[in-house]
Amino acid sequence: MHYRGQFPDRGTGAAARRDDAQGRGAPSAAGRPMRVRRELPFAPRPEDDELLSSWQGRVACRYDLIHDDLSRWLGVLRDDRCCGFTERDFAPSAEMGQAWAAACRLPEERVQAFALSSRLRSRSWYVWGEGRVAGAFRRPVCLACLDDDAAAGRDHHIRRTWALVETMVCEYHCRVLDEACPHCLDSSGFRFVVHEMAARLACIRCGRIARTVPQKQRAGSAEFFATVSALVAAALDDQSAVRDRVIYVARVLWKSPRPRTGRRTPFVADVVPDLRLTPTAQARVDPTEPLATAPIGWRMVTLLGVAALLDLGRSSVRGRLAFTLDQMVAWTGEPRPRVKERSAPVAVSSCAKTPGQSDADYLALAQAILTSKEWFAVHDQHLQVQRRTLRALMDRALARKWNPEGISS
């Protein structure tokens, strides 16, 4: 481990000035030295519509780490556990925001603005996306959007709108979001890796890059679920009382029936009779937070049942359910008061690696970039061209395992 509090001067060029450190470790008022701030030599900028954990994952993969291990290296995560949704995306600590902002030379306010708690939603209205594998993103994504990222030369990034519980269809490509790998169909999740000098989401199981593949989708399914999503979103924006009722009905749908009722499965299994609720799928869902934890398929079914029972959209999606809300309440014994939210499960990190480069290595890499032919070729061009070239040089250097000789000079 190498503390970055005394990172050497990195030259006088425009790029060096932009990347210059904004502060150093200093003694506290009591005379004790403060925790030395660490800085990363290179870090991609966050996208405006990106989840905070997605940006952290893109930064960490440049150093062959997961985001929790990089937080551990920054000194803000002091045990072997992995952060959950609340600590990572919904309400990260001020210390976490300060450390990441300083390490990536960003304004602290910009990093803190990515916290979902700053919006008018509780965490029950977001997909938590927590998997059992450390560093995995177990949340639905639009493969077509990821293809667009790659075609434009950008990193893959996870959009905030994909984390909304009512989002089941991409509004740009009108296709149902994918939670499983398109190649091996495993749903363990995705992880950021460096592929062709860019951050890409890859399957945890097979390791292949997430991208669209030819597949058959049932005609009209995307349009139907987009309609359900729009109805639920409109109801949520209309009044807060509807939000509480939607959450309540979703919990009743997933609550196990009381003994002596003759039922063994929750009512959500009867919303679509052709679907079978397997024990594996049921075990994955927290019945107190079903919309936040259910796989996307069963989240669709849950919202469909909620829309039918609450008559959202004035019967436009009402189905002939074999039960009523009063029957569910009576058979499950669900109390009317609001159920207290329960913390999400956390995964345990298998290892804790640290960036193993010294300050001298970082300095040599920066000097090699600033003296390269590619950088001098765009020295007098537009600032956007300079930034694009500098980013390509940094990605190439990181992909070559920090070999300064790999950059032409």
pLDDT, tens only, 144-191: 999 999 999 999 999 999 999 999 999 899 899 999 999 999 988 999
Is the pLDDT at 270 greater than 70? The verdict is yes
CA–CA gap between residue 274 and residue 186 (Å, rounded): 22
Provide, rounded to the nearest whole percent, the portion of the chain with pLDDT above 70: 72
Cα separation, 68 vs 221, in Å, equals: 37
pLDDT at residue 266 in the model: 86
**Looking at 15-29, 170-184, 226-240, 291-305, which range is the least confident one?**
15-29
C-alpha torsion angle, residues 347, 352, 353, 355 (rounded to 10): 90
Whether pLDDT at 290 is above 90: yes
Q: Taking the model in full, what pTM does it have? A: 0.74
In this prediction, residues 203-230 reach a mean pLDDT of 81
The answer to which of 188-192, 219-223, 296-300 has the lowest mean pLDDT is 219-223
Give the pLDDT confidence score for residue 405 in this predicted structure: 46
Distance CA 403, CA 121 (A): 46
* Between 12 and 358, the higher pLDDT residue: 358
Residue-level pLDDT at 313: 64
Helix (H, G, I), strand (E, B) or coil at 198: strand
Contacts 24+ apart (CB under 8 A), 109-113: 110/46, 111/46, 111/52
Secondary structure (3-state) at 20: coil
**Mean pLDDT on 268-278:** 82
**pLDDT range class, residue 209, cuts 50, 70, 90:** very high
Beta bridge partners of 178: 141
User: For residue 229, which of 272, 271, 170 has the smallest C-alpha distance?
Assistant: 170
